[in-house]
A and B are shown apart, each in its own frame.
Chain A
Amino acid sequence: MAKIPLDTNQVDRLKQLAKEITDQIQRFICKHSSVSVERTVLRLYGVDGVDSEGTPIPNRLVEILWEKDNLKSGVSPCFAGAMLESDRDPQTTAELIERGKIEFGDLRKFSQGDILEKEKELSENAVAILDSTRKKKQEKIKKCPLPRQPWRYLIVATGNVYEDLTQAKSAVLAGADIIAVIRSTAQSLLDYIPYGPTTEGFGGTFATQANFKIMREALDEISEKEGRYVRLVNYSSGLCMAEIAACAAFEDLDILLNDSMYGILFRDINMKRTFIDQYFSRLICSRAKIIINTGEDNYLTTSDAIENAYTVTASQLINEAMAKKAFLTDDLIGLGHAFEIDPQVENAFLYELAHAQLARQLFPKAPLKYMPPTKYKSTDIFYSHCLDTMFNLASVATGQGIHLTGILTEAIHTPLMQERYQALCSVNYVFNVARDLGKEIEFKKDGFVAKRAQRVLDEVENFLKELKKIGLMEAISEGKFANISRPFDGGKGLDGVFEKAVDYSNPIIEQLESEGVIHE
């Protein structure tokens, strides 16, 4: 592997700082829950479907308790009570509640012991679902092995899940290892998960459990045919982070975009809501063995990629520290970064190498997610193809994990079938001809790349010290990340956040926390 000489003491200091910064956040998270967290509990207990108006039943049930001011103890005990009353399966029980046949939230009829026992049963079944998807994936990977990194990641985004299948199959034939179905525009701002297969989305295809299933089944078929396991990606971001993670676990998804701060900064979602939701979503990912991909690349689309490189590294450290609190192991923490430096800067490629190599060395076991150029992509597709080719070289030379394939028409439209093929031709070519380039590279001790990496590290250290002093939430409200300021009580979704009562119960979180990392 290529190497820059780094001061390991400094690296340790940075990781310690990130841990301390996130300790403050974790204390806040533990005292709070959200409507989305509670809906996730219901989904994992086996509640699905929509009512006659198309509202998801998990939303309906949580609303009932919310209106009665009965949610502060958690949805779990109330649902356990309803199960005891109905003596039916979770879905039927939920439908009975929704139709007003069961008084939801009235726990007087049953003893605390009976409720607790029912909750335990429901929660064990829920965790068994997460265990089962983990094992299923391991079996599939045994049968169809994973390719070498960097894994080639391709997007599909037609707005019609059946058309997405055609596009995905074509991409896999051309070499894609990972397929990401881009979500419909603004889904992150919906406070519910749409239901059923999508045939008309805008700018992408809705993330629904039905779409997940359709796409995963198609990829299973093609994995067997091609003899390599093709992974499926979706987005656990926005107002339904944990719910999407639950749906993804049900349908054996492999990777979820999931960032502890992205929604706050780039979608103006309230920071309390985001921190609370990301924690439960990551607990689910950890147990279900879903890789998370963080969104640091976005910092560089709004601010300068050289000047603000340190914010990427700082955010990676924070995302890593928060992921570890949710028991995600290194192999599941796909931290993000990007190739976004202005190509008119002389030696821009050396800067890119320095940043990519630094990320590689700071997080040696993480399947780093490397984003292609977007900001300086041109509508001259032939020029854009050249930018991507240099990006491909940086990626293979520095041994990145998840390679988001840049597409020549990035600045024009969502890719056509042939454009994925053209993009993969460049990736396949560069990855092959430069496969072991990294093993041959040693960066000069006081050379440009080493000095640049050191400078970023020093800036990160100063920045993290400042964050620790003022607190992460305060820093975000002051616009310290991506030059975007988000107030503590601003943004969407704050009205769905609540403080847990003393008798709050969420046995899924309790079980996941107490059992921690599962070693097979």
Chain B
Amino acid sequence: MSEEMIKPYGDTLHDGVVQLSFTLPVENGARAKKAVEIYLSKLNFENISVAHAYKIADNFTYFVVYARAIPTLDYSMVKAAEVKIKKMDFYEINELIKRKINRRLSVVGATIGSDAHTVGIDAIMNMKGYNRDYGLERYPEIDAYNMGAQVTCEELLQKALEVEADAILVSQTVTQKDSHIRNFTELIELLEAENVRDRFLLVAGGPRISNDFSVELGYDVGFGPGTVPSEVASFLVTKILERKGA
């Protein structure tokens, strides 16, 4: 493969222009601005221009800066495991389940651990859905069980076994001190200890979740911010059909 060198684009190819905003724990002044220039040059920027500097607390200054990034990257060398699934809509998905799977899918979802945020799991599962895309509860061919937040891994597994779930959806919004990693891992460990990992498709989701990250933790897939329910449903149907060898 031929080299494909890239860097950020402002208004001219390869200009490397980047917009930054950050705070330094120093008083505003000429010395603070100089510090920004030196610091950003250490980060491999050039043509550093401090557009805005403002005192936001005693001994703290906020900056908006434009600068040109020096490094270039060979894009042909970049690999990432994107979720490669043909995206279908609500009607196509239901039709496919009816025709090819010939039974309703069962899906259990929850926010696990101490995380109290249901916003992610609700966006995917609630009838209403997200961004004008119906939630899984609305799918006539899917039995969706949204257990809400602060569900323990044990409760989630128990429910999944009880309703013979095809898939388990796990959401994590709070990521402070990597609590999400601990929670995601705890579930995997439980499933493996109980010898049931292969019974379910395991789906991770949340604002700071990527597919790569989720696969690394042992999940089948991970969905990040902006995911709509039909993307998740498309994935589930495609994978279940794959497993059936269809």
Report which A residues bind B (CB closer than 8 A): 159, 166, 169-170, 173-174, 185-186, 188-189, 200, 202-203, 267-268, 301-304, 344, 374-375, 378-379, 411-414, 416-418, 421, 483
Report which B residues bind A (CB closer than 8 A): 21-23, 54-58, 60, 62, 114-116, 118-119, 122, 126, 128, 132, 148, 150, 174-177, 179, 207-208, 225-226
Question: A375 to B22, alpha carbons, bound, how many Å?
Answer: 26
Question: A267 to B150, alpha carbons, bound, how many Å?
Answer: 9
B114 and A186 form a contact (CB under 8 A): yes
Interchain nearest-CB distance for A165 vs B (Å): 10
Contacts A185-B114, A186-B115, A203-B176 given; 18 further ones with Cβ under 8 A?
Answer: A159-B176, A173-B55, A173-B57, A185-B115, A185-B116, A185-B174, A185-B179, A203-B174, A203-B179, A268-B150, A302-B126, A379-B207, A379-B226, A411-B225, A417-B60, A418-B22, A418-B62, A483-B126
With a cutoff of 8 Å between Cβ atoms, the chain B residues found around residue A174 in the complex are: 56
Question: A413 to B175, alpha carbons, bound, how many Å?
Answer: 8
A421 and B54 form a contact (CB under 8 A): yes
With a cutoff of 8 Å between Cβ atoms, the chain A residues found around residue B60 in the complex are: 166, 170, 417
Question: A166 to B150, alpha carbons, bound, how many Å?
Answer: 31
With a cutoff of 8 Å between Cβ atoms, the chain B residues found around residue A188 in the complex are: 116
Question: A310 to B66, alpha carbons, bound, how many Å?
Answer: 48
Interchain nearest-CB distance for A200 vs B (Å): 8
Interchain nearest-CB distance for B97 vs A (Å): 25
With a cutoff of 8 Å between Cβ atoms, the chain B residues found around residue A417 in the complex are: 23, 56-57, 60, 62
| Residue in A closest to B115 when the chains form the complex, CB atoms | A185
A418 and B150 form a contact (CB under 8 A): no
With a cutoff of 8 Å between Cβ atoms, the chain A residues found around residue B116 in the complex are: 185-186, 188, 267
A344 and B115 form a contact (CB under 8 A): no
A202 and B128 form a contact (CB under 8 A): no
B128 and A304 form a contact (CB under 8 A): yes
With a cutoff of 8 Å between Cβ atoms, the chain B residues found around residue A483 in the complex are: 126
With a cutoff of 8 Å between Cβ atoms, the chain A residues found around residue B57 in the complex are: 166, 169-170, 173, 417
| Residue in A closest to B21 when the chains form the complex, CB atoms | A418
Question: A189 to B115, alpha carbons, bound, how many Å?
Answer: 12
| Residue in A closest to B123 when the chains form the complex, CB atoms | A375
With a cutoff of 8 Å between Cβ atoms, the chain B residues found around residue A268 in the complex are: 148, 150
With a cutoff of 8 Å between Cβ atoms, the chain B residues found around residue A170 in the complex are: 56-57, 60
Question: A166 to B23, alpha carbons, bound, how many Å?
Answer: 13
| Residue in B closest to A157 when the chains form the complex, CB atoms | B176
Contact residue among B21, B132, B208 (Cβ-Cβ distance under 8 Å from A344):
B132
Contact residue among A169, A267, A411, A412 (Cβ-Cβ distance under 8 Å from B58):
A169
| Residue in A closest to B225 when the chains form the complex, CB atoms | A379
Question: A402 to B58, alpha carbons, bound, how many Å?
Answer: 26
Question: A375 to B62, alpha carbons, bound, how many Å?
Answer: 28
Question: A185 to B207, alpha carbons, bound, how many Å?
Answer: 17
With a cutoff of 8 Å between Cβ atoms, the chain B residues found around residue A375 in the complex are: 119
